[in-house]
Amino acid sequence: MNRTFKIGIFDEEGKFISSIKSLQEKEFKIYDVFTPYPVHEVFHLLKRKSRLPTAAYFFGLFAIIAVLAFLYYTSVISWPIVYGGKPFNSFPSFIVVTIVLTIFTVTIASLATFSARSKLIPGRENTIFDHRATDDKFVIVVNTDILDNSKSEQIATLMKEQGAVEVLDKEFENINA
Amino acid sequence: METTPGLWWYIAFGISSLAAIFGFYAIYITVSQGIGTWGVNNSVGWGWEIVNFVWWIGIGHAGTAFSIFLLILRQRWRTSINRAAEVMTVIAVMLAALFPALHMGRVWLAFYIFPYPNTRGPLWVNFNSPLFWDFIAITAYLLISFSFWYLGILPDFATIRDRTKSKIKKAVFGFFGMGWTGSSHHWIRFESLNFILGGIAAVLVVSVHSIVSTDFAVGIEPGWHTTLFPPYFVVGAIFSGFAMVMTLMVIVRKIYKLTDYVTDNHMDAIARILVFISLIMGTAYSTEVFIAWYSGNEYEMFTFFRNRITGDYTIQFWGMIVCNALIPQLFWFRKVRRSWVGLLVVSLFINLGMWFERFNIVVTSLSKDFLPSNWVSYDPTYIEIGVYVGTLGLFAAAILLFFRYIPIMAVSEVKSVANIGNKKED
């Protein structure tokens, strides 16, 4: 079944924000919004949160333990060699390797998590509701599948009242997002 | 980048390609015949290659330092320059990595440096060695500076994908744009990831060049064995990096007529940073000399007073002092900070001076150490010069290609600063 959407296009950040607010007041569920740059108010209004920093913290914790364990294994258990009279487990000189390899691991793991969670992979084509959102327009998308005609008309008028330059109806077969 | 380049672009690209071809020839000779083709010898085991390695790595500090320190300091003007600085970083670090790889002699065995379970024992690498730290630090730095740059440019790729009318561009930028739509889900994760990468890259900026400095500082050569090296190297790296950013931005601004975006005030701000760092460099140089004298160690005294301030390598030592500590003082004058010729000339002198500094450190200490029978002089062969010229050519060619095909400025960041969509609040 095709899915139908009301798409409001805005020129100005202020009008776009007030439109989101008034849609939410009338308890219409906003499917998503698209902006040319990050707009922090949107994150609060749509209650978007990212757990990436927490994940990165645990990646780091894991990496520190893994690297120190690896260094201990290679230098003490697997093939102990005395370098300049230092003990096998010469912890102070392991610190540098641990820091750098931790950074390395956190970077790769966070990138992979970001890519997987945001579904951003080279060559992937996510559904673009309106091409102008990556240029200089602000776009609000509302799913109208379960709404009757009068409700979707109400959404269109609301967005126009708040200063939308254009309100479009679009249908998509599959949504990649 | 939505216009075609002028004749100057083809001429510049031609010259840099010729230099790069010379470099490839020199690399071919080095790899096929060995490092006997270089001027290095038993006493001076590190020559131009290490000098140039440290020089490029220093330049490679600018992008990340720029983006991150100025991000932390909430300097919004950085948005017009940080992309160019990040591009420069990625290229410079790749070029830097070339030198230690060639210096291994048998570069096809370079994978021995990876600590993987092997059939040679398993013989692990020496985790206590700064040379190994250096290897992982540079690998991590390359990865993180590339990711940081790519993440920043991702929304811009999407912009080009959605704006262009050419089918090829649409396909190419569609592929590299990775399906970016600018949705709120994308932006919030984008911001978190940017924050994470920025935070850990800040640590790396400081640690990479500290590690490079320990390559020297743990050696017992007179002139190397000092605790001053890590901060001295980090500051020097940022100095040379910012100078290179300035050189590039002066030229780019002139050619692309970007004075509305990269304003005189921006260049003025970089010049002020440079004059400040120059004072730190001057302090570091005098501290080194003072400590050599104050220590009373005759080898240290010899290196500094008889082999640097006077002796065979006076040109490099005084070149370093004049270019890094004295000439940048011209930036105290507003006239110099506001004229593009002044900015260009001073920044080129800093680049040169930083090269002298590395030469001064690497070669003078090695050429005359504790045993006079070991004393030799060092001159580079044309192969060594060729590798260096080649990297300069590759750098210029890569920068030209980048500026031709990829946005110079962080478009989405400039949008958020330039008040599109904020007409009401103005």
If asked whether residues A30 and A67 sit together in one domain, one would say no
For A48-70, give one letter per residue: b (16+ CB within 10 A) or e. Answer: bebebeebbeebbeebbeebbeb
Considering the domain boundaries, does residue A177 fall inside one? Answer: no
B190 → chain A, closest CA residue: A114
Which residues, 6+ apart, have CB-to-CB distance to B142 below 8 Å? B90, B93, B94, B97
**pLDDT number for residue B258:** 75
**CA–CA gap between residue A8 and residue A12 (Å, rounded):** 12
Q: Is residue A21 less than 8 Å (CB to CB) from chain B?
A: no
Tell me whether residue A38 is in a domain: yes
* Cβ–Cβ < 8 Å for B225, B217: yes
What's the CATH number where A35 sits?
A: 3.30.70.260
Rounded to whole angstroms, how far apart are CA atoms A176 and B361? 57
Instruction: Supply B155's token pair.
Output: 């929304």
Cβ contacts of B104 within 8 Å, gap of 6 or more: B110
Q: In terms of Cα–Cα distance, which of B284, B283, B305 is closest to B296?
A: B305
CATH number of the domain that B302 lies in? 1.20.1630.10
Q: For residue B29, with 0-12 CB atoms within 10 Å meaning exposed, 13-18 middle and 19 or more buried, which class applies?
A: middle
Q: What integer best gives the mean pLDDT of chain B?
A: 87
Closest CA to A54 of B202, B196, B148: B196
Model confidence, pTM: 0.89
Tracing tokens 């990269």 back to the chain, one arrives at: B262
Query: Do A36 and B126 lie within an 8 Å CB cutoff?
Result: no
- Which residue in the set B115, B184, B196 is minimally distant from A42, CB to CB? B184
In percent, the amount of chain A with pLDDT more than 70 equals 99
Q: Hey, are the CB atoms on A114 and B189 less than 8 Å from each other?
A: yes
Does A82 lie in the same domain as A27?
no
Which residues, numbered 146 to 175 in chain A, qualify as contacts with chain B under a Cβ-Cβ cut-off of 8 Å?
none
Phi, psi of B295 (to 5 degrees): -70, -25
Cβ atoms < 10 Å from Cβ of B150: 15
Last residue of a domain, one of A118, A137, A155: A118
The length of chain A, given as a count of residues: 177
Domain annotation covers residue B399 = yes
Tokens of B28: 């071919």
Sorted by sequence, the CB contacts under 8 Å of residue A67 that are 6+ apart come out as A97, A98, A101, A102, A105
- Identify whether A134 is part of a domain: yes
Residues 6+ apart with CB under 8 A from A30: A20, A23, A24, A46, A140, A141, A142
Q: Mean pLDDT across the stretch B248-259?
A: 81
Give how far B310 is from chain A: nearest CA, Å.
35
Q: At residue B253, does pLDDT exceed 90?
A: no
In a domain, B256, yes or no: yes
Answer whether residue B234 is part of any domain: yes
* Whether residue B364 has pLDDT greater than 50: yes
pLDDT of residue A177: 67
- CB-based contact A127 B181, cutoff 8 Å: yes
Is B343 part of any domain? yes
A99 reaches B (C-beta below 8 A): yes
User: What is the mean predicted confidence (pLDDT) over B391-407?
Assistant: 88
Q: Which DSSP helix (H) or strand (E) runs through A32?
A: strand A30-34
Kindly indicate the confidence band of residue B16, based on its pLDDT and cuts at 50, 70 and 90: very high
The CA distance from A51 to A36, in Å, is: 23
Query: What is the identity of the amino acid at B303?
Result: T
Residue B178 inside a domain? The answer is yes
Residues B334 and B271: their CA atoms lie apart, in Å, by 10
- How does B84-121 read in b/e, with b if 16+ C-beta sit within 10 Å? bbbbbbbbbbbbbbbbbebbeeeeeeeeebebeeeeee
- Chain A residue numbers with beta carbons less than 8 Å from the beta carbon of B200 are 103, 106-107
B192 at A interface, C-beta within 8 A: yes
pLDDT at B91: 92
DSSP A95-138: HHHHHHHHHHHHHHHHHHHHHHHHT--TT-----S-GGGGTT-E
Contacts 24+ apart (CB under 8 A), A75-84: A75/B124, A75/B127, A78/B122, A78/B124, A79/B121, A79/B122, A79/B123, A79/B124, A81/B126, A83/B126, A83/B128, A84/B128
Q: Determine the Cα–Cα distance for residues B332 and B328; give it in Å rounded to an integer.
A: 8
Residue B1 is assigned to a structural domain of this protein:
no
- Best CA proximity match to A170, nearest among A148, A150, A146, A144: A144
Q: Kindly report, residue by residue over A30-64, the tens digit of the pLDDT.
A: 888 898 888 888 888 888 888 999 999 999 999 99
ipTM: 0.90
Min Cα distance B232 → chain A (Å) is: 18
Burial of B375 (0-12, 13-18, 19+ CB in 10 A): middle
CA–CA separation, B364 vs B216, rounded Å?
13
Least CB–CB distance from B136: residue in A97, A107, A125: A97
Q: What is the mean pLDDT of residues B112-141?
A: 87
Q: Is B426 domain-assigned?
A: no
Q: What are the structure tokens assigned to B285, written together?
A: 């140089």
Whether residue B424 has pLDDT greater than 50: no
Q: Residue for token digits 């009757």?
A: A148
Query: What are the residues facing A139 on neighbouring strands?
Result: A9, A34
Which residues from A are below 8 Å from B203, CB to CB?
Answer: 99, 103
**Domain, as residue range, for A150:** 3-49+127-172
- The beta-carbon neighbor of B126 closest among A53, A83, A99 is A83
Whether residues A45 and A131 share a domain: the answer is yes
Mutate: best of B64, B79, B128, B133, partner A, most A CBs <10 A: B128
Tokens of B112: 């021995």
Sort out which chain B residues have CB atoms less than 8 A from A132's CB and list them.
162
B182 → closest Cβ in A10, A36, A110 = A36
What's the burial of B10, exposed, middle or buried (CB within 10 Å: 0-12/13-18/19+)?
Answer: exposed
Which range in B68-77, B102-111, B284-293 is most confidently predicted, on average pLDDT? B284-293
Q: Are B295 and B48 within 8 A, CB to CB?
A: no
Q: Given pLDDT bands bounded at 50, 70 and 90, which one contains residue B153?
A: confident
- Interchain contact B228–A (C-beta under 8 A): no
Residue B421 lies in a domain: no
pLDDT tens-digit series, residues A92-116: 889 999 999 999 999 999 999 999 9
Across-strand partners of A142? A6, A30
- Res B85: pLDDT: 84
Q: Which of B173, B178, B419, B424 to mutate to test the interface with A (most CBs of A within 10 A)?
A: B178
- In the block, tokens 């890569």 appear at B398
Please tell me what DSSP assigns to residue B304: I
Residue B332 pLDDT exceeds 90:
yes
Q: Which domain does B221 fall in, by range?
A: 7-115+129-414
Give the confidence band of B205 by pLDDT, cuts at 50, 70, 90. confident
Which residue in B91, B355, B123 sits closest to B239, CA to CA?
B355
Q: Do A111 and B193 touch (CB under 8 A)?
A: yes
Confidence of residue B1 (pLDDT cuts 50, 70, 90): low
In total, how many domains does chain B have? 1
Cβ of residue B171 closer than 8 Å to a chain A Cβ = no
- Decide if A121 and B179 are in contact by the 8 Å CB cutoff: yes
pLDDT tens, A73-85? Answer: 998 998 888 877 8
Residue A88 lies in a domain: yes
Whether the link from the prior residue into B372 is cis, omega within 30° of 0, is no
Residues of B in contact with A108 (CB under 8 A): 143
Strand partners, A30: A142
Residues A98 and A75 grouped into a single domain: yes
Q: In what order do the strands lie in the sheet with A166-172?
A: A30-34, A138-143, A3-10, A166-172
Distance of CA B170 to the CA centre of its chain: 33
Determine the pLDDT at residue B4: 63
Q: Quick check: B163 pLDDT over 90?
A: no
- Please report the pLDDT score of residue A129 as a whole number: 85
B184·A132 Cβ contact <8 A: no
Residue A97 domain flag: yes
pLDDT reported for residue A171: 81
Residues A85 and A69 in one domain: yes
A57 and A100 share a domain? Answer: yes
**Interface check A35 vs B, CB under 8 A:** yes
Query: Do residues A60 and A111 share a domain?
Result: yes
Q: Is residue A155 part of a domain?
A: yes
